[in-house]
Structure 1
Amino acid sequence: MVVKDSCLSDDMRSIISVPELCDIIFLVGPQRMPVYGLRAILSARSRIFGLMIASHQTKLQTHRGKNSAITNTLSCVRTIARRRSSHHGQDNVTKLTIPIEDFEPDIFEHLMTYVHAGTVTIEPTTVVGLLNAAQVFGFTQLYRSCLDFVLSCIPEQRSMEAMLISATHYYGFKSTKLILKMVKTYMNDYPDLLNMRSRNFRDLTTKVLSGTISDGVTSSTSVCSDQKRRSVTD
């Protein structure tokens, strides 16, 4: 008999939403937004995360090893004082902190949900970021699911528009280049398609595909509110 806990995914999702239960902080994006996780799960699920965590742990230990005995003693005293005075102090002392500069906080939160809970919802506004994150951190199933979702978005104007807008944040990534190549191929196969769609869409598509649009375009980010989505379960 195989017993499956249907609540496990929800429980794991709850854990990473409570900072006190986590032991690692990712500071994501230019604003260094905190996104939390568990080292053991991250290391077990991804070799890339495992190496990243080990590297930062080694750097932290090396840095601490350079301190004098007096400095270490004073540090211990301050640590004890902070732990007694506030939970915030405890949070900063006990957690490993790793900066993540290349991804948006929302995308990285989605990735953490997938890593810890084994499930995530993909939408046109998030698929480009998730596809690139899956490729960078080595999540093959998520990568394939995102790629399939990209293919389903390309024929639909609103979905493609939202997808192309989000692609402006990830121009330098390998998977973004693949997506834009797929869009170009589709446009070449259906040359009359752009003329059948709105002028704004034609302008957006032309600029994104040519790389002449600036990063951070948000004029049409609301178009996905009623669009399709897909849940991926690992």
Structure 2
Amino acid sequence: MSDGEARFGDPKVLAVEMSKILDSQDHSDIKFLVGEERKIFFGHKCILSARCEVFRAMFAEQSTKHSAADPYVLSDIKPPIFRALLEFLYTNKCTITADTSIDVLGAAIEYGLEDMARICVGYIRDSLSVDNVCEAIQAALTYCQDDLARECLTLIDGDPDAVFRSRGFTEMSEEALIYILQSDKLMADEGEILKAVKEWATVNSVVSGESMGDLCKHAIEHVRFPLIDPDELSFIEKENNRKKYIPIHLISHAWKFHAIKEVDRNDIQIRPRAGTLPKESLRAIGLAANK
């Protein structure tokens, strides 16, 4: 006898029907206290354990420690994020906003929900702008979303000046800043890139109390000082005598390049970016200014 052919009904109808028991006390056999405010959510173990391996393991591990009346305390997730998580598990969709998308992505990854993570990444990608790209690239790097990180970088490459002036720029980690500084496609001259790094270090120094030099000691290595005109480089060197956020070897390397004009094609420091302006001092690498 044939096993038959499985055919599926309308998934939207199922989602609507399942949403009726989302966070419903009816027939619920599990309760969660979520966030610092200990907001109560109701759930059904059979649904949550079938849809999420993390919940299945949680219930199995703690079955001997919890009575049916004991709630599970989840203090490290915010209630709106947990509700989005439950919504996905019950209905296979989730409601995302600009304010919650990154936190929902983090929750999806923490709970091993790849489809939910894809939904979040798609929302973030579709919403990218110069105003939110710094927060997006930080999330992409934190949660190992390589394709999203590359899309963020493409946007940054095309309009770095606007991104450098955005509120999110100084809130990025040094890791994210380095990821940007490694790009050859940044449409910015090196002096402007250095100013952005200096601003990032200045703001974070005020916030953390650490020195600028300590905060940007890795990122500053990715600024290509030989691409800076000697007059501007001289001013930077004098300023650095006071602020001391640029290691001496980087400035010395730049002066050496300007003095002997020798080109080492393996030296990333002298590789022009897309936005490097032609200068007479860069004639050795084919970027002399037109007279």
- TM-score tier by shorter-chain length is 0.5 to 0.7
Deviation at 1:119, TM superposition (A): 1.4
Supply the AA of the counterpart residue of 1:135: I
Distance 1:206 1:184 in 2: 13
SS in 2 for 1:25: strand
User: TM-score normalised to the size of structure 1?
Assistant: 0.59
CA drift at 1:44:
0.7
Return the structure number with greater helix share.
Answer: 1
**In structure 1, how many angstroms separate the alpha carbons of the residues matched to 2:146 and 2:170?**
17
1:59 and 2:50 correspond: no
1:7 is paired with a residue of what secondary structure?
helix
Specify the alignment match of 1:175 in structure 2: 143
The answer to whether residue 20 in structure 2 is matched with residue 18 in structure 1 is: no
* Alpha-carbon distance in 1 for matches of 2:157, 2:30: 46
SS where residue 60 of structure 1 aligns? coil
Deviation at 1:143, TM superposition (A): 0.9
Per-residue CA distance 1:135-173 (angstroms, 9 max, x = gap): 01111111122122222222263xx28x949x8xx9xx9
Q: CA offsets per residue over residues 95-135 of structure 1, 9 Å max, x none?
A: 45211122110010011011011111222222111111110
* 1:22 counterpart letter in structure 2: S
Which one of 148, 157, 160 corresponds to residue 191 of structure 1?
160
Residues 85, 107 of structure 2: 8 Å contact kept: yes
* Alpha-carbon separation, structure 1, partners of 2:88 and 2:53: 15
Cα distance in 2 between the residues matched to 1:209 and 1:180: 16
Query: Is residue 213 of structure 2 the alignment partner of residue 208 of structure 1?
Result: no
Alignment RMSD: 3.5
Contact 1:16/1:22, CA 8 A, preserved across alignment: no
1: distance between equivalents of 2:107 and 2:13?
Answer: 26
What's the CA shift for 1:42? Answer: 0.8
The 5 A counterparts of 1:138-177 are: 138-155=112-129, 157=131, 160=132, 164=135, 174-175=142-143
Structure with bigger strand share is: 1
Deviation at 1:177, TM superposition (A): 9.3
Q: Displacement of 1:51 after TM fit?
A: 0.4
Asked if the contact 2:130–2:156 (Cα under 8 Å) also holds between the matched residues in 1, the reply is no
In structure 1, runs of 5+ residues without a counterpart are 62-93, 215-234
Runs (4+) of structure 1 exceeding 3 A deviation are 176-186, 210-214
Aligned residues: 168
Counterpart code for 1:193:
A
8 Å CA contact 1:26–1:35 kept in 2: the answer is: yes
Higher radius of gyration, 1 or 2: 2
Classify 1:177/1:9 alpha carbon distance in 2 versus 1 (closer, same or farther; 3 Å).
Answer: closer
Aligned to 2:15: 9
One-letter amino acid of the structure 2 residue matched with residue 140 of structure 1: E
Change in Cα spacing, 1:210 to 1:47, as seen in structure 2 (3 Å) is: closer
Give the corresponding residue for 1:69.
none
Q: Give the residue type in structure 1 aligned to 2:35.
A: G
Displacement of 1:7 in angstroms is: 2.9
- Percent identity, please: 25
Unaligned segments of structure 2, at least 5 residues: 1-5, 175-203, 208-291
Q: Choose from 119, 126, 146 the match for 2:100.
A: 126
SS at the partner of 2:172?
Answer: helix
The 3 A distance-change label for structure 1 pair 119 and 108 is same
Counterpart amino acid of residue 21 in structure 1: H
In the superposition, relative to structure 1, how do residues 111 and 117 fare at CA in structure 2: closer, same or farther (>3 Å)? Answer: same
> Is residue 54 of structure 2 the alignment partner of residue 48 of structure 1?
yes
Aligned-partner residue type, residue 51 of structure 2:
R
Question: Residue 57 of structure 1 aligns to which amino acid in structure 2?
Answer: S
The structural deviation recorded for 1:10 is 1.7
Residues 1:175 and 1:60: Cα distance change in structure 2 (over 3 Å): same
Q: Within 5 A, what are the aligned runs for 1:55-134?
A: 55-60=61-66, 94-134=68-108
